[in-house]
Structures are given as structure tokens and as C-alpha cells.
Chain A
Amino acid sequence: MSYTLKGRIEARLVAALPPLLVAVTIHRWWAFELVALMLVLGAALDAAVYDRVLDYQPAWLAVPLGALELGLVLLAMRMPVTWAALGLFALGWLTAQLCGHAIFPRLQLDYAEAGGELGRAGALLAAAAAAGAFAGVAGAVSVIPPTVHLHGTVQGPLVIRHAQTLVGGIVKGGIVIRAKHVTLRDVTVVGGENGIDVEADDAMLLGVHVLGPKLDGIHVRRGSVMIENCSVAAPGSAWVQGIDVSFAMDKGMSMIEGCTIDGVREGIVTHWAMIDIRDNHVSNTALRGIDMGEMSMGTITHNTVVGSKNVGILCLDHSECDIAHNTIQGAPMPIQQQFFATAKLHANTIG
């Protein structure tokens, strides 16, 4: 087909409508972002490249061009590739193919002659796309969690029951997260039975500091969490674990990255969870530095475990652990695999 630029843009608007509808329905920010990027990057390619280079576009070219656009969209989103994202993109791509090769030629006799331009239908489409985009933006704005800034010290325990972003401040007595899509950023927690207790999916703990917890610094049960650049120190008892993520194998993947944990009984503990543990510094634990146990699966990479009085890194009880590029110093038993666990070791440094 020999598209005009207007024909290309109209085809793209049509292709974006079903994914936009899905995004509005599922109310997820990533979906709105993906549809917006599909439209913006696609239109930019139409104007700057395709319209100048392709006087004629054979049908097969839709496959490599679609792959190129998918790659660009995913790069721009800077998120891991998920089946849902691929599916949403594929929905738009398939819509474009179906409309361009079957539906529009059937409905509009001169569709190909018109270079893909839809005439009056194009104006209606533009209006529909504008309305859809407006609804999409409105929907996206409506699902952005509110941001709450804490100033000074707040007496806890603080129980969070709605999606939100909590920024700054000091909370005494612990925080309990019971809603999806909660983010804590630069919050300091002092005391509490558990410093931060996560009981929901899709929590993000960024730059949080936990001091003086009585049981766990960060305690995750039946949830999924991304923890970055945290610290746990000054345990309030001899039984404190730094971070414990457990009973979450059927939840999303969790990640602990860039945390500093010092002086607790066990540094990072998992039970029946899928998790990546990387770039953490665990020091002076009374038992294990990092313990991936009880049928967990995951990677333990680029961590430093210093001064553990027992095992540096333990892979336990049917777990599958990929242990690589870690540095373990001063542990009586640097790395241990026990009870039907499978550990793959690569390039670890034992000091």
C-alpha cells in the first residue's frame, strides 16, 4: 500500500483505540504510558522516516517495523518486558493489520486509492481518538496515587489502607502496608514490632531507614515488594531479622537492592518466595548473612557479607539459588547448601 502521511497517522490512531480502551479498563499507569508511547513514537516515525523512505509499503514490512516500534516503546518505558505489555502492543499491531488489510478496504471502496485516508470517517476517528486520549489522560491521572509528605516525627504504628506515596519524615512504632501500590520514599521508621510490615502487592520501599525494630526490620508476608537503598540497624532485640520476605511464591517477583543491614540476627531471609537480592551490604549478623530458604527461587548477586558469625550465604530446603559475584568475609562457613537445595555458584570471593 502507498500510504499518504495522513493515511498513516489515521491508521495509527485506529490501531491505538483498542489498547487505549484496555488501558482505561484495567486502570494501570504502565498501560497508559505504553499506548501514549505507541502513538507518539509511531507518529514521529511516520513523519520523519516512513513517509520519506517508503513510497510503497508491502504487507510483510509490517512485521519488522512492528518489532522495531515494540523495541523502541519498551526502551522508552524502561520497564521489564511483561506478557501484558507485549499483549497490549500486539493488540494495537493486529488492529492495524486487520483494519488496513480487511476492514477499511471492505467499508471504504477507495481506501487504497486514497492512500489510507479515511475521509469523513477520518475526522470522526480523530474526534474519537481525541476523546479517547482525554479519557485516557483523565483515567491515568485518576489512578496516580496521592503523595503524602510527612514532616517531623509521627507517632505510629501507621497503617496504610489506600494506594499512596509517603515521602520523608520519621514514624515511631512502625508502618503496616495493607494496600497495593504503596510507595515509601526516604521514610525513617523507629521501633515497632516490625519496622515496616508489608501485607500487599506492588509495594515500593525506596531509601527507607529502619532503626530499633523488635522482630524484623522489613517484614513481607503474602506480598511483593521492591526495596532499594534501605538500611536496617540498631536492632531492638537479639531476634531481629533485617529483611524477611516469605510465603509469596504465587505473588510477583520481589527485589532487594542496595540495602545496608547491620548487627541483626539474620540479614536477609526468604521463605517460599521468588526474589532477586543484589548489591546489598550485610554485616555483623549473629546467624546467617543471607538465607534463601524453603523452596524459594532467585538470585543472590554482588552482595557483600561481612562478619557473619555463622553462614555467609545459605541456600536451604529445596530452594534454587543462583549465587554469583558476592564477597563473603569473616564467616566460619561462607556459602552453604542444605536439604535438597540447588545452588549455582559463580565468581564469588571468599575472604
Chain B
Amino acid sequence: MRCAIVGSGLAGLASYATLRHGGVPARDIVVFGTHADPTEVWRGRAAAIRQRRMRSESDGHLAPSSFPGLALRERSLRALAETATNRYRPSVELFLRHAAEVRRRSGWDESFVERRVAAVRAVDGGFELDGDGPFAHVLLAPGHPGLNTLPGTVHAYEPHEYEPRVAVIGAGMAAATEWLNALAAGSDVVSVRRREPLRRPLNVPRQLFSRRGLAEFHRLAPPARAARLRELAAPSYPDGREWDVEVPVADEPPAGYQVIAATGFREGFAEDPLLAALVDEHGVETYDRWIALAPDSTVPALTDDRRTLSIAGVAGQWAFPAADTIAGAKYAARAFLRRVCRTR
């Protein structure tokens, strides 16, 4: 077994599908994770906030190559016209159907092993995962380290109903979705936030999804890069009339209100036990709350001509600011595939 993927979420599936597309046989890959269904965790969160449409666009899917996109799979002229004008948002239902198809076609279940990996140790010829291995190439896709919950509140990504009076803490996509949900449920809604929401179509400006913006980002010195990442982490949600609702704003949740915390996830490698242990044991370079990765999403100190340690998903933002998106997962996966192919 040459390759291991640690994490069985969407980033894990995108990485697995990319490796398989690149000709790596299923018998050469093992996927360690806690859920056989790679959409399970994400689906639960999407259901909690009643999400119906993706924020991503036609190419925000899990198949290795971006063509055909989800708009083409809908086989409707309207979807194609919308994608040409950047107004297409695939439905959650379509996305999940497509994810199930990628799972089936890629042979994911052949490679999946249900196990939570607690430690990665560099050894001769690769890495041991909780003593198993060695694996020459390991991609860590541990996902978000947990919800950023607040005492006395229900988190937006936890199952909940809406009381007659609802205060929503936060100013990002989940918060905006919760305003709409609560209003649709007939509740009085108050937004509790410290800053006005940013409006932009995707998590980060579009040029940061391509070499055009990334080249400049990668040239930034560590302090400037960390500052840029903090700036990009500011909550945002898309433009569009469907999001434009009048909601009163307050500094604190008013008394007697149900408080929904749309406060996202805990942030930083230190919040993830696997990554924290990796940094501690191997002295991996970090900066602020990020592991300092090479532009190809690898950990420089633990990657050489014979072995690769890559990080995909939100923990890979040092290499790709939108690492917590599907595009980000595929960015790391493609670079990982190039290394695997080079050392085949």
C-alpha cells in the first residue's frame, strides 16, 4: 500500500477520486476515516441550516476534472445560461447525488477502513499511521476541528427548530441562511454581529482560485500571508436579492430570544489533535494558527523525493486560501497526485 488518505469527508473523497483518475489502483490506496459515507458529516450540517443550494458553482463538484460541471449534468439551457453568467448554484440534492456517483465509480468503498487515526509518524520510507505502514505518500484531510459553540446557544450546524424570537450570532453564510430560515418560520429575528457582512460570491476573491492570484499570495512573507488569511477569513455571503432581508442588528442577544450561534468552526491546527501531535512530534514549522505548507500543499520538512505528506481541507490554507472548499481539496489532491506519479 503506497498511499493513505486520512479523513473520509468531502476532501477525502475528492482526493481519492483524483488519485484513481490519475491511474493509482484502489489496492494502492487506503482511506482512514470515521464515516463510510463521505457526505455524512457535511449533509448533517447542511440539513441543520436547511441549505438547499450550494455556494459553489458548476465546477464545485467532486469529480477529478472540472468538465463536465454540475450545470451540464442538469441538462437544461437555463442552468447553462446561469453558469455562463455566474448565477448558477447547484442544488444540495444534485450535489449529493453526484457525490454518491463519484463514490461508486471511484471504488471508494474498496479502500475505506473505519478508523480514527491519532498519530502520524515519519519513518524510513514514509509514514506510519498509528503504527500501520509505512505509507510512502500520506494526505491528511481531517476536516474542521469542531464547531465553534457558545455556552447557552444552539449551533447553526446542530439540529434545531425556530422559536418565535430568534437571535442569530454571526455574519457569514450560515448566519444569512439562518435569518432567512427563521423569517420563513415566522420568527422575529435579530442579528447579533460585530461587523457588517462582506458580500462576495465565493469564500475568497476568484483570482485566488488560480495561479493569477496564488502566485502573489505565495510570494507574501509569513506575517503578511497570515494577515491576508485572517482578512480572508472574515465572514461573508453572496450578493443577490434572495439574501437581501431587513434584520435588526443588536450587540448582544436580547433576553428571551432563542440564540443560534452561526459562528462556524474552531480554527487552527492546535484545535485538531492529529495535527497538533504532528507539529509537536516533528517540529513542523507553523505560523500563527497555520501549518506552514509549501505551495503544493505539502509539509516541506517531511516531504522529499521518496515520500509526501500533504494537507488538504481547511488546514491547508497556507498553500491555498480557499482550502476549505471543494476546489481547495482538489488543489491539494492534484498536487499530491503529481508527486505520487513522479515517484511511482
B334 A112 Cβ-Cβ under 8 A: no
Given A105-B65, A109-B64, A112-B59, is A60 in contact with B212 using a C-beta cutoff of 8 Å?
A: no
B64 A2 Cβ-Cβ under 8 A: no
Is B86 interfacial (CB-CB < 8 Å)? yes
Is B76 interfacial (CB-CB < 8 Å)? no
A115 B18 Cβ-Cβ under 8 A: no
A113 B210 Cβ-Cβ under 8 A: yes
Given A58-B86, A59-B83, A109-B18, is A115 in contact with B210 using a C-beta cutoff of 8 Å?
A: yes
Closest to A104 in B: B67
Which residues of B in the span 246-300 have a Cβ within 8 Å of any Cβ on A?
none
Is A110 interfacial (CB-CB < 8 Å)? yes
A114 B211 Cβ-Cβ under 8 A: yes
Bound-state Cα–Cα, A316 to B21, Å:
73
A55 B212 Cβ-Cβ under 8 A: yes
Is B162 interfacial (CB-CB < 8 Å)? no
Is A102 interfacial (CB-CB < 8 Å)? yes
B contacts, CB < 8 Å to A: 18, 21-22, 59, 64-68, 83-86, 205-207, 209-215, 327, 330-331, 334, 337
B206 A112 Cβ-Cβ under 8 A: no
Closest-CB distance, B66 to chain A (whole angstroms) = 4
A109 B210 Cβ-Cβ under 8 A: no
Closest-CB distance, A104 to chain B (whole angstroms) = 8
Given A4-B212, A101-B67, A114-B211, is A109 in contact with B334 using a C-beta cutoff of 8 Å?
A: yes
Q: What is the 8 Å Cβ interface bit string for chain A, positions 1-31, against chain B (1 contact, 0 not)?
A: 1111001000000000000000000000000
Those 10 A-B pairs whose CB atoms lie nearest each other, nearest first: A2-B210, A115-B211, A105-B67, A56-B206, A59-B84, A2-B207, A2-B212, A115-B210, A105-B66, A55-B207
Main secondary structure of the interface of A (DSSP, over half): loop
Bound-state Cα–Cα, A116 to B68, Å:
17
Given A58-B84, A59-B84, is A112 in contact with B212 using a C-beta cutoff of 8 Å?
A: no
Closest to A58 in B: B86
Contact of A3 among B22, B83, B212 (CB under 8 A): B212
Is A117 interfacial (CB-CB < 8 Å)? yes
B residues less than 8 Å from A55 (CB atoms):
205-207, 212-213
Bound-state Cα–Cα, A2 to B204, Å:
13
Main secondary structure of the interface of B (DSSP, over half): helix
Is A89 interfacial (CB-CB < 8 Å)? no
Given A58-B84, A112-B59, A113-B334, is A106 in contact with B67 using a C-beta cutoff of 8 Å?
A: yes
Given A106-B65, A109-B334, A113-B334, is A4 in contact with B211 using a C-beta cutoff of 8 Å?
A: yes
Bound-state Cα–Cα, A235 to B332, Å:
85
B residues less than 8 Å from A7 (CB atoms):
211
Which residues of A in the span 50-65 have a Cβ within 8 Å of any Cβ on B?
55-56, 58-60
B85 A60 Cβ-Cβ under 8 A: yes
A113 B67 Cβ-Cβ under 8 A: no
A residues less than 8 Å from B330 (CB atoms):
109
Bound-state Cα–Cα, A2 to B212, Å:
6
A117 B211 Cβ-Cβ under 8 A: yes
Bound-state Cα–Cα, A110 to B84, Å:
20
Bound-state Cα–Cα, A97 to B207, Å:
20
Is A111 interfacial (CB-CB < 8 Å)? yes
Contact of B334 among A2, A101, A105, A110 (CB under 8 A): A110
Q: Other CB < 8 Å A-B pairs besides A2-B213, A59-B86, 16 of them?
A: A2-B206, A2-B210, A4-B210, A56-B205, A56-B206, A60-B84, A102-B67, A109-B18, A109-B66, A109-B334, A111-B66, A112-B59, A113-B211, A114-B211, A115-B212, A117-B211
B209 A113 Cβ-Cβ under 8 A: yes
B residues less than 8 Å from A117 (CB atoms):
211
Closest to A114 in B: B211
B residues less than 8 Å from A111 (CB atoms):
66
Bound-state Cα–Cα, A114 to B209, Å:
9
Bound-state Cα–Cα, A351 to B211, Å:
73
Q: Can you list 23 A-B contacts (CB < 8 A)?
A: A2-B209, A2-B210, A2-B212, A4-B211, A4-B212, A56-B206, A60-B85, A102-B67, A102-B68, A103-B67, A105-B59, A105-B65, A106-B65, A109-B21, A109-B64, A109-B334, A110-B331, A112-B59, A112-B66, A112-B209, A113-B209, A113-B210, A114-B210
Bound-state Cα–Cα, A113 to B212, Å:
9
Closest to A1 in B: B210
B residues less than 8 Å from A2 (CB atoms):
206-207, 209-210, 212-213
Closest to A63 in B: B84
Bound-state Cα–Cα, A2 to B327, Å:
14
A residues less than 8 Å from B66 (CB atoms):
105, 109, 111-112
A residues less than 8 Å from B337 (CB atoms):
109
Bound-state Cα–Cα, A129 to B313, Å:
39
Bound-state Cα–Cα, A58 to B85, Å:
6
Q: What is the 8 Å Cβ interface bit string for chain A, positions 106-142, against chain B (1 contact, 0 not)?
A: 1101111111110000000000000000000000000
Closest-CB distance, A298 to chain B (whole angstroms) = 43
Bound-state Cα–Cα, A4 to B214, Å:
11
